[in-house]
Structure 1
Amino acid sequence: MIWLFDLDNTLVNRDAAFAAWAGKAVADHGRTDADLAAIVAADDGGFSRKADLARVIIDRLGLPDDVPATIELFRAGIREHVEAYPGVLDTLDVLRGAGHLVGVVTNGDPAQQRGKIARCDVERHVDAIVVSGEEGVEKPDPRLVETALERLGAADADRRDVWMIGDAAHADVAVGRAAGTRTGWVSHGREWSGGARPDVVAASTRDVVALAASPAHGR
């Protein structure tokens, strides 16, 4: 079996890292809970335009009007605070120990994504990493999945033997479907509302893997 994982909010808790940075920044600048709520809302789980988010941060914190510097400020804050979900890297080790191939397929800026990967020691637990900013395409473009399979030496693998797992319906589930793989959605307690359900839905990455690896989902 081949397992492809999203990075943010799948292997590592990116949203908690942003919230931790934002909370400290708001406190350091003497701002209010309303400012914190506005900044977190503007982040939109990492899917907002970075320049738009920077504008909200500048306004709410009273920072100098420098969008690139503000983008680097919050990116550095995320890198400083990000952590892997408890036990998730052990799960990757179990999969590899059973002879499975494991890869990461992530959208984002190369320096930012590689920084999070390094801080959380992800690379040591996987066989390949594909970052959209290094490839010139991003999820849900299926070429990212094809690139990951090539790097895993599995370009000709039966797509029924491949799982794409992530928390974002419009990116992770969509790219798996576009590439013809099976799909697992990490819900974090949300209700699925993206049309046809993925093959597996569970609250955490570890739970998704457990369900996907169960006999009920064997070929």
Structure 2
Amino acid sequence: MIWLFDLDNTLVDRAGAFEAWASGAVAAAGASADDLAAILEVDEGGHGSKEALARVLIDRLGWADDVPGAIGRFRTGVLERVRLYDGVLFSLDVLRGAGHPVAVVTNGTSAQQRGKIARCGLDEHVDAVVVSGEEGVAKPDPRMVEIALDRLGVADVDRREVWMVGDAAHADVAVGRAAGTRTVWVSHGRSWDGPDRPDVVAPTTREAIALAASPPGAVLS
């Protein structure tokens, strides 16, 4: 099997890192719980417009920064606080140890996403990294999957031998479907409320991997 993983909120806790940073920024500005709620809402777990988030931060926290400056501030805050989910490296190592190629397929800027990967020590635990900001395309464009498979040296593999794992239905599940792979949705306790349920749904990435690898010949126990 081939394993393609989203980065934010799949391998690393980007949402938790942003909330921790935002809580500190709100406290430093003497702002309120309502301000924090507004900031978290517009962030959309990392999927919201960065420009819109910057404007809310400037407005709610009284920053003197312009929009690019505010974007830089919160990106730095996330990068300083981001952490891997527990057990993720172990699961990746088990997959690779069994001969299963592993790649990260992530939307975002090169500096930010590569920075998270380096900070969390993911580099040595995956075989390839595909970042939308480096490729000129982004999930759910299926070219992101095709680039990853090419980097792994398996461009001609049967797409049903490929798992796309991620937390975002509109990006990760959608790109897997567009590329014809199997899909794994990391729910973080949410309910799937649309049609066409993914092949595997699990609350955490480790549980998702275990379920996806559970048929005969599974590599995880």
TM-score (norm 1): 0.97
1:35 deviation in Å? Answer: 1.1
Cα distance in 1 between the residues matched to 2:35 and 2:217: 45
Cα distance in 2 between the residues matched to 1:168 and 1:160: 20
TM-align CA RMSD: 1.2
Count of paired positions:
218
Cα distance in 2 between the residues matched to 1:99 and 1:142: 24
Residue in structure 1 matched with residue 179 of structure 2 by the alignment:
179
Cα distance in 2 between the residues matched to 1:108 and 1:145: 15
Cα distance in 2 between the residues matched to 1:81 and 1:2: 30
Kept in 2, the 8 Å contact 1:31–1:61? The answer is: yes
Task: State the percentage of identical aligned residues.
Answer: 69
The aligned amino acid for 1:110 is S
Residue in structure 1 matched with residue 198 of structure 2 by the alignment:
198
Residue in structure 2 matched with residue 35 of structure 1 by the alignment:
35
1:36 deviation in Å? Answer: 1.0
Once the two structures are superposed, what CA deviation does each residue of 1:40-90 show, in whole Å capped at 9, x if it has no partner?
Answer: 111111111111100100011100151100000000000000000010111
Residue in structure 1 matched with residue 161 of structure 2 by the alignment:
161
Kept in 2, the 8 Å contact 1:169–1:194? The answer is: no
TM-score (norm 2): 0.96
The aligned amino acid for 1:91 is S
**2:94 aligned with 1:67:** no
Cα distance in 2 between the residues matched to 1:65 and 1:144: 34
Cα distance in 2 between the residues matched to 1:79 and 1:154: 32
In structure 2, the CA distance between the partners of 1:71 and 1:49, relative to structure 1 (3 Å rule), is same
Unaligned stretches of 5+ in structure 1? none
Determine helix, strand or coil for the equivalent of 1:105: strand
Residue in structure 1 matched with residue 139 of structure 2 by the alignment:
139
1:194 deviation in Å? Answer: 2.9
Once the two structures are superposed, what CA deviation does each residue of 1:2-41 show, in whole Å capped at 9, x if it has no partner?
Answer: 0000000000000000001001111111111111111111
Cα distance in 2 between the residues matched to 1:169 and 1:216: 27
Determine helix, strand or coil for the equivalent of 2:164: strand
Determine helix, strand or coil for the equivalent of 1:164: strand
Cα distance in 1 between the residues matched to 2:84 and 2:202: 18
Cα distance in 1 between the residues matched to 2:101 and 2:89: 14
- Aligned pairs (5 A) from 1:44-63: 44-63=44-63
Unaligned stretches of 5+ in structure 2? none
The aligned amino acid for 2:133 is G
